[in-house]
Amino acid sequence: MLSLTGVFVSSAVVSLARVHPATTSRLRVLPVTAVQAASTEDTTAARTALFAAIAEFRSAEQAEGKTSIDFGVKGGELDKKSRAPADLRNVWRGRVKSAATAVEDAIQALALCNPTADATKLLGTVEGALCPLHGAWRNVWTTAADASFSPNSTRGDAAVYNVVDGRSGKVTNHIDFASGAQFRVVLRATALSPQRVGLQFRFVKVSPPKPILGLIRTIVIPVPGPFITRVLSLLGRGPKEGPPPAYFDVIYLDDELRVHVTGQGNLFVQRRAPWK
């Protein structure tokens, strides 16, 4: 999940790359002024359609097998050129790919019912607990390879959560592996627009299933800042075009459901989760 150069960190929610061409043709982020008020019935129907499409996707995976993703480029987790999280739409085939297309269609329909005009309101302020994004969110569907886990891989299965602290403007991606290992990817979040959240990686905490040498329970890996990543890129230790921007656009958000698209074009569907 962390490249040897330390330039890119593969996390559960945030992808780092340019928008995927296939995504831009199928799914676009509507400006706030373009989203019209939808009736409660329309919104409920759109949500129901999305959950039904995700259920069909899971059924297709059970029938045809879940795509096995392992660490790094060879494992299919990272894109070969950019070292950013890979897009599973380039891997899915047959019934699974068709079901994924149906999920995207349902997302597009739901986006037209978005009830939250300003998803980033109060993010990073003393009143941040009132920010619509504040709280914990659990992944239920994604196209991002780095956030997809299964028992038929070296990485193993894992539960993925994204926790937004609206007051501090901190986002933490929680990856809890079935083996007992834990990853915590900590980022700084900044409101770039009513829909867009800019992200800057801070550090990664890795907790192995058992203490290393019986003593070390947690390893903290700092993530290089923008200047260092540019230098590493110039030295040939990263993509030639340099590190791509890290951000996501909220395309639907209510009290219980969140859908966003990353700078890479990967989609995430998340539901609010209880959190202490």
On average, the pLDDT of the chain sits at 79
Strand partners, 262: 248
- Using alpha carbons, select from 18, 30, 68, 47 the residue that is nearest to residue 196: 30
8, amino acid identity: F
Topology of domain 40-67+74-273, CATH = Lipocalin (2.40.128)
pLDDT digits (tens, 9 = 90+) for 217-243: 888 888 655 444 444 444 454 555 555
Q: What is the pLDDT at residue 74? A: 60
pLDDT digits (tens, 9 = 90+) for 166-193: 999 999 999 898 888 888 999 999 999 9
Conformation bin of residue 255: beta by default, left when phi > 0, alpha when psi is -120 to 50: alpha
- Mean pLDDT along residues 163-167: 97
Q: Would you state the torsion angle of the CA atoms of residues 4, 219, 140, 117, taken in this order, to the nearest 10 degrees?
A: -90
Instruction: Give the residue, 149 or 60, on which the prediction is more confident.
Output: 60
Report the sign of the C-alpha dihedral through residues 150, 98, 104, 55, in that order.
negative
Q: What is the pLDDT at residue 163? A: 96
42: pLDDT confidence band, cut at 50, 70 and 90?
very high
pLDDT digits (tens, 9 = 90+) for 105-145: 999 999 999 999 999 999 999 999 999 999 999 999 999 88
**Whole-Å CA distances, 204 to 9, 184, 215, 223:** 8, 6, 19, 7
**Whole-Å CA distances, 35 to 32, 255, 263:** 6, 18, 21
- Mean pLDDT along residues 196-202: 93
Please answer whether residues 84 and 17 qualify as being in contact, where contact means their C-beta atoms are separated by less than 8 angstroms. Answer: yes
pLDDT digits (tens, 9 = 90+) for 67-77: 776 665 565 55
Instruction: Give the residue, 77 or 255, on which the prediction is more confident.
Output: 255
Domain boundaries along the sequence of the chain: 40-67+74-273
Q: What is the pLDDT at residue 79? A: 60
Q: What is the pLDDT at residue 211? A: 76
Angle 264-268-274 from CA coordinates, rounded to 5°? 140
Quick check: 104 pLDDT over 60? yes
Q: What is the pLDDT at residue 233? A: 44
Q: What is the pLDDT at residue 31? A: 54
DSSP output for 143-197: SBGGG---TTSSS--EEEEEEEETTTTEEEEEEEETTS-EEEEEEEEEESSSSEE
The Cα 221–Cα 115 span in angstroms is: 38
- Mean pLDDT along residues 48-73: 86
Count CA atoms within 13 Å of residue 83 on its CB side: 20
